[in-house]
Amino acid sequence: MTDLLKTRFEDLVSEFRELDDRDAELELLLELGGSLPLFPEAKRTEENKVHGCLSQAWVVPSLTEEAPHTLRLEADSDSQIVAGLIAVLIVLFNGRTPTEAATLDARGALKEIGLERHLSPQRRNGLYGMLRRVQTFAKAFA
């Protein structure tokens, strides 16, 4: 199982680039989704739900208590593919300061992996909804 908090985004990009077909990419995405930490049932609320996603997905951004405050994402989905996308976002955003997260070209970073070409428009909408939630949160504290 992958430790998402120790995985660097650059390493994830390299891992995806080494794969030669869509099935291998989806398999890695599913594996990453299986690495999500347990998500508390109490956080599966309407307020935390990401709308626009075909599946059910919940994203809860917060800041660490110790300085410098950095972003921490808790999230889950009832879809393994979406859970994999969430795992990619956790690797991308966790540990960044609010300013770094707010100004990050997240769509550009995700294009480096190349996942968007395999996502349906509805899954892409859900992914962008999760990105907006995280970056809106980060901007509030930047």
pLDDT 10s digits, 96-142: 999 999 999 999 999 999 887 778 888 888 899 999 999 999 999 99
Decide if 2 is inside a domain.
no
Domain extent at residue 72? 9-141
Is residue 57 in a domain? yes
14 is catalytic: no
Provide the whole-model pTM: 0.94
Asked if 32 and 5 touch (Cβ cutoff 8 Å), the reply is no
> Does the pLDDT of residue 82 top 70, yes or no?
yes
- Our count of domains for the chain comes to 1
User: CATH code at 37?
Assistant: 3.90.1010.10
pLDDT value for 119: 84
Task: Classify residue 100 by burial, with Cβ atoms within 10 Å: 0-12, 13-18, 19+.
Answer: middle
CA distance 64 to 60: 13
CA pair distance 116, 96, nearest whole angstrom: 23
Query: Which pair of tokens denotes residue 100?
Result: 């770094």
Question: In this predicted structure, what is the pLDDT of residue 1?
Answer: 56
Tokens found for residue 16? 């995806």
- The burial class, CB within 10 Å (0-12 / 13-18 / 19+), for 45 is exposed
Q: Which residue of the set 32, 53, 59, 134 is catalytic?
A: 53
